[in-house]
Structure 1
Amino acid sequence: MNARKVAFILVLIVGLVASGFLQRGLNRDRERLGITRTAVISNAPPVLAFTTVALGAFRGLIANALWIRANDLQEEGKYFEAVQLADWITKLQPHLDTPWIFQAWNMAYNISVKFPEHADRWLWVQRGIELLRDQGLQYNPSKALMYRELAWFFQHKMGANLDDAHNTYKTQWFLKMNPLVPNGRADYDVLLNPQTPEDRERVRRLAELKLDPKEMQKVDAIYGPLDWRLPEAHAIYWAIRGIENSPQQDILPLRRTIFQPMLATLHHGRIITNRVSGLPDLRPNLDIIPAASKAYEDSITAESEENKGHIARAHRNFLKDAVYFLYANNRQAEAQKWFNYLVQKFGTGPQSGIDPTDTMETFALGKIEEDVNETSRDRVTQAIQGLVANAYDQLAQGDNDQYTGLDRMASRVYQLYESKIKLPAQQQR
């Protein structure tokens, strides 16, 4: 072998060794920057690991095959096996948001309801949230749809009452958050500058939930004060994070996502502890009205002309409910203030849905009648509680006639509501 061949072989060996070291560095940099598409699949069968590397560009075909198998397993009731396949699918296609969203939805909505025990359902709802929050957003930090779905899980699956296990979800989230934000209000002086081991532990546990105290403070400043033990606060938080991190052309659904949990926060965004059960009980959060109204106005200003109307209607509905709840909770001066603002901003007549002859009081009482007819539990509960509170306030002031009238009205509202919700069952019989 001549000297030229030896030199060539040596150069080749050195080049291969050097490229190996460089490749490791490149892979680390790609992973650090979030641009790698070669995430290692842990605990995968050897055949899957081999075919993933060998087929490369055919990863999509592998994912499709696994997707079909995962659906088959779910139909067979093999939920844990289906979840393992879902984990592999999302690792095969980590930078596509659809697999993450589908699998998270599958856990939180489809699989969870297969279990009769509410505690088991909560585990699956929690897994769906964790999949999006802890893993999906790691690979897709600028995908608006990921943030929107995560916010929806908090708002709809946990916050609404459509799942008969919703009280379990709310209670479990309350128990998770209460040690971190006692009384629901975050102490930002402490969280942003923790001094004690206990405070540092709280910050660490918030970080596990991907909650940044700086971002929480920004959300509270705009939309608060929020009770962070309630899912609606987290729906707003994740929608805001999505608006900050997503392309401008994709954020309109996120803006709209904010308005529904804001309205829900007005309805039942304050927690009191039930003295009998010791569990959380929900009440309206009327303190958010000024900040929330301003947030609507700022959103209208920021939107294009074609989208301003949607937000304006949401703002109008929010103000109507604000007047209603303020009146029902015996805060009549504030109810009058916001009623005046509502009329000034949106006018009266069919377009605004406000009768020109309405006073604040007749408007609020008219909404009570509407809500009883709609059998809205939240609204009817607040109407009855507000009427009773008003009645006792009048009694304390010595107006026995007013007390009797309000007390009788509360009884009539309750009786009418009872008759409305029992009517369908009677018709079925």
Structure 2
Amino acid sequence: MADTDLITKLQPRFPDVWAFHGHNMAYNISVMTNTPEERWAWVNSGISLVRDKGIRYNPNDLILCKELAFWFGHKIDGVSDDAHLYYKRQFAREWQYLLGVPPFDMKERVAWIKLIADAPDSLAALYVKSPGTKEFVEDLEKRLLPLPERFHFAPDKRFLMLFGEWAAQQTSPYAQALGLKASTGDVSSLVDVFKATFGDDTRKDQASAVVAFLRKRVLLDAYNMDPQLMYEFTRDTGPLDWRHPSAHALFWARRGSQFGEHRITNDLDIFKSINNDRLEIQAMQALARSGLISYDPFSGDNVTRLNDPRWIKVLDEYFEVLYDKHYQVRGAGADTFINLHENFMKQAVRELYRLGDIEGSQAILDKLDKLYGTGGVIPHEGYKKPIKEFVQDVLYGEFEMQPEVVRSDVYATLERGFREGLLLDNPQVLEDAIRYARDLTTYFRDSRYNDFVTRFGDGRMRDVLGLLEESIPAVLSKILLDTSQPMLDRLVIYRKAPDDVRALIYDQVKPILEREWATGRLAKTGMSFEQAFPEPPGLEDVRRAQAEIAKRRAADQQKSDGDGAERK
């Protein structure tokens, strides 16, 4: 580490030096270590070296941005590393503490990140822009003064992570089930301070303004990420969730194009631009397959990653942009994107079909036929099949080597089952969906391609899927929190859903639904949230069971940490 620090200081304007040492730490050194914690430390160090330091000295270098995009997309979001599940948990936890949970609705998500982008750059500017924030911060500082210095207020990552952990606890079913309490008197006092300031309902506006300011400063100072670009990229592409590694892959690839592409003046270097663009569209593909994140930092569970069909249109349109952009590049540069587009859109046909969007699915199939089938360079009839037959061929022809495909099919099938089966009062649809999902999950889990267990005890591919029992509540939770759907429809679905599934997700969805209910029209009818969404039977049993599971996992983790320390 010292050698790396010295060499990069001697050659700060030499991008290849930063790229070499970042890659060396993230890939070569990390795999030589013995525990997931050690691996993550080296991977994180390699990324931080380039992102936080290297790009500050070389802000317009395309290659450094491309390298970062690759590391996020391959090392963290990929499955080739034995410790990839650990990486995903740590990454999601860090960014949930930093930025919180983003809203599902696209317009709300754009507004959410814009709030951070528009935040003042300094405390002085904050005090001028947002009345009452000066008194809020002074009160906060006064309350924190008796505590150790590490808890004092400052616009830095240390303090924001403290606040973020406290904020995450307020909505965590596992934290509430475990009855998590401060381990020391100082931490207990810190929690009390946060409750009295950030938790004060009479000062919500001031607290929100201070948090937005803190997030902006930390993004700029600790992560070298411009919130204005984060806002623009969200607005111009799709619903980016910064807890997902591929959101960062997209950010850095797009940033590289925006600030570094003009420096490519030699035709022999055009491949650098093409490779960078390829990483960006691959990030969109990854977000379409797993861009919906659900994660409780205190559960010890893997990150729940659902497919997000909103990215289908984004990728389809961006393919046309890239094709036109590189059409004149020698060596058929534009054609290098065709395979990705064709394969992705084939999966989109399957996904939309499983969601029940037959019209949208057929429209994509017709487009595929026009571009690559009967209208292709080498015409064929492959896209002229009946859509049901086509979907079956695509699924069973590809899923054995692509766990993401199976998972997205399971989730899409379950989502359609909940929506149509419960909303349209057709329980057979839901029963068929659950049966299909169970059969597909069982088949894939028993596949010979997915029996590999890593040196850390994880099923490298098998655990990516998650148990079917986890998939069902995850999908119901997603549907209930989907603000693009009428509240009345979601209310009907909740009321008709099986009691045991409702009990599993009630504590998770209640805080978010309750806030939405309070500002919605249905609340004006006089019906309370508790009347609309009553606690399901068996909720206390589920809470006790979750508490026991959480205790066992905490004990297992403590034992694992102890074993890891001994190995070190």
Common topology (TM > 0.5):
yes
Which of 200, 211, 216 pairs up with 2:213? Answer: 200
In 2, Cα distance between the equivalents of 1:302 and 1:325? 29
In 2, Cα distance between the equivalents of 1:164 and 1:415? 23
Change (3 A) 1:302 1:288: same
Residues 1:264 and 2:278 are matched in the alignment: no
Which of 9, 31, 49 pairs up with 1:113? Answer: 31
What does the per-residue CA deviation read over 1:136-174, in whole Å, with 9 as the maximum and x for residues that have no partner? Answer: 222323332211111111111111111122122222222
Which of 242, 249, 252 pairs up with 1:235? Answer: 249
Shift of 1:402: 6.5
The corresponding residue for 2:366 is 340
Shift of 1:86: 1.6
Q: Is the 8 A contact 1:330 1:389 kept in 2?
A: no
**Matches of residues 4-23 of structure 1 in structure 2 within 5 Å?**
none
Change (3 A) 1:354 1:139: farther
**Matches of residues 92-107 of structure 1 in structure 2 within 5 Å?**
92-107=10-25
In 1, Cα distance between the equivalents of 2:419 and 2:257? 45
Larger mean Cα displacement after TM superposition, 193-202 or 158-167 = 193-202
Q: 3-state SS of the aligned residue for 2:12?
A: coil
What does the per-residue CA deviation read over 1:335-382, in whole Å, with 9 as the maximum and x for residues that have no partner? Answer: 23322333333334895886144122222221111133x342221222
In 2, Cα distance between the equivalents of 1:318 and 1:100? 34
Change (3 A) 1:97 1:351: farther
The corresponding residue for 1:281 is 304
Residues 1:295 and 2:326 are matched in the alignment: no
**Matches of residues 284-323 of structure 1 in structure 2 within 5 Å?**
284-305=307-328, 306-323=332-349
Change (3 A) 1:84 1:302: same
Change (3 A) 1:174 1:405: closer
In 2, Cα distance between the equivalents of 1:209 and 1:183? 19
Shift of 1:405: 5.9
Aligned pair count reads 342
Higher relative contact order (CA 8 A, sep 6+): 2
In structure 2, give the amino acid aligned to 1:87: D
Change (3 A) 1:324 1:146: same
In 2, Cα distance between the equivalents of 1:423 and 1:318? 22
Change (3 A) 1:220 1:132: same
Larger mean Cα displacement after TM superposition, 174-183 or 250-259 = 174-183
Residues 1:138 and 2:61 are matched in the alignment: no
Shift of 1:266: 1.0
Residues 1:358 and 2:385 are matched in the alignment: yes
Change (3 A) 1:225 1:351: farther
In 1, Cα distance between the equivalents of 2:234 and 2:379? 30
Q: 3-state SS of the aligned residue for 1:95?
A: coil
Larger mean Cα displacement after TM superposition, 190-199 or 145-154 = 190-199
Shift of 1:387: 3.6
Larger mean Cα displacement after TM superposition, 251-260 or 172-181 = 172-181
The corresponding residue for 1:216 is 230
User: Under a length normalisation based on structure 2, what TM-score does the superposition of the two structures give?
Assistant: 0.55
In 1, Cα distance between the equivalents of 2:282 and 2:69? 11
Shift of 1:401: 7.1
Task: Provide the alpha-carbon RMSD of the alignment.
Answer: 2.9
The corresponding residue for 1:155 is 73
- Runs (5+) with no aligned partner, structure 2: 103-108, 120-129, 131-208, 265-269, 453-568
Larger mean Cα displacement after TM superposition, 340-349 or 105-114 = 340-349
Shift of 1:303: 1.4
In structure 1, give the amino acid aligned to 2:249: A
Q: 3-state SS of the aligned residue for 2:241?
A: coil
In 2, Cα distance between the equivalents of 1:126 and 1:257? 20
- Runs (5+) with no aligned partner, structure 1: 1-82
Shift of 1:193: 2.3
The percent of aligned pairs where both chains have the same amino acid is 27
Residues 1:385 and 2:303 are matched in the alignment: no
The corresponding residue for 1:325 is 351
Q: Is the 8 A contact 1:222 1:291 kept in 2?
A: no
The corresponding residue for 2:538 is none
Which of 104, 110, 113 pairs up with 1:188? Answer: 113
Shift of 1:105: 1.1
In 2, Cα distance between the equivalents of 1:399 and 1:350? 45
**Matches of residues 366-405 of structure 1 in structure 2 within 5 Å?**
366-372=393-399, 374-390=400-416, 396=422
In 2, Cα distance between the equivalents of 1:353 and 1:283? 33
Of structures 1 and 2, the larger Rg is shown by: 1
